[in-house]
Structure 1
Amino acid sequence: MLKDLISYIAKSLVDNPDAVEVSEIEGEQTSVIELKVAKEDLGKVIGKQGRTARAMRTIIGAASTKARKRAVLEIIE
């Protein structure tokens, strides 16, 4: 669910949506969602002063509260 959400948001932001890769590593209490985009799209996903990345992390936090599990977004270069 969270993986699909991040994938949708990232593909909407970037110029090269085919290069977007999202993987989820699930632990007992925490899920780590890894987002990988094309090098030229990295700035679009992070945003000015990290605002876009912070907004995505906020959305994940809210969505993971509903699932009663903690989720963390990692943007991989």
Structure 2
Amino acid sequence: MIKDMVEYLIKEIVEKPESVLIQERQQGDVDIFEITVDPNDRGKVIGREGQTIKALRVLISTVVTSNKKFLIDLVQL
């Protein structure tokens, strides 16, 4: 559910949605979502002063109703 939401939101932001790759893994009790996008789209995902990626994290944390922990990481190619 979270992975699908992250993927949908990221694909709406970038110019090359076909290059979006989301990998999910667990580390202890934390779900980690590693996002890979086209290098030209990194700035759009991060946003000015990190506003876009921060907003994405807030939005996801609002949707997650349990005390589940997660981390959204933008992977650099």
Q: Deviations over 1:16-63 (max 9, x none)?
A: 000000011124411011111000000000001100000011122223
Unaligned runs of 5+ in 1: none
- Match of residue 21 from structure 1: 21
Unaligned runs of 5+ in 2: none
Give 3-state SS (helix, strand or coil) of 1:15's partner: coil
Give 3-state SS (helix, strand or coil) of 1:18's partner: helix
Count how many residue pairs are aligned between Structure 1 and Structure 2.
Answer: 76
TM-score, reference length from structure 2: 0.90
Q: Could you tell me how far apart the structure 2 residues matched to 1:49 and 1:28 are?
A: 30
Q: Which moved more, 1:34-43 or 1:19-28?
A: 19-28
- Please say if 1:70 is aligned against 2:65: no
Report the identity percentage.
30
Indicate the RMSD between aligned Cα atoms, in angstroms. Answer: 1.2
- Match of residue 34 from structure 2: 34
- Equivalent position amino acid for 2:51 in 1: R
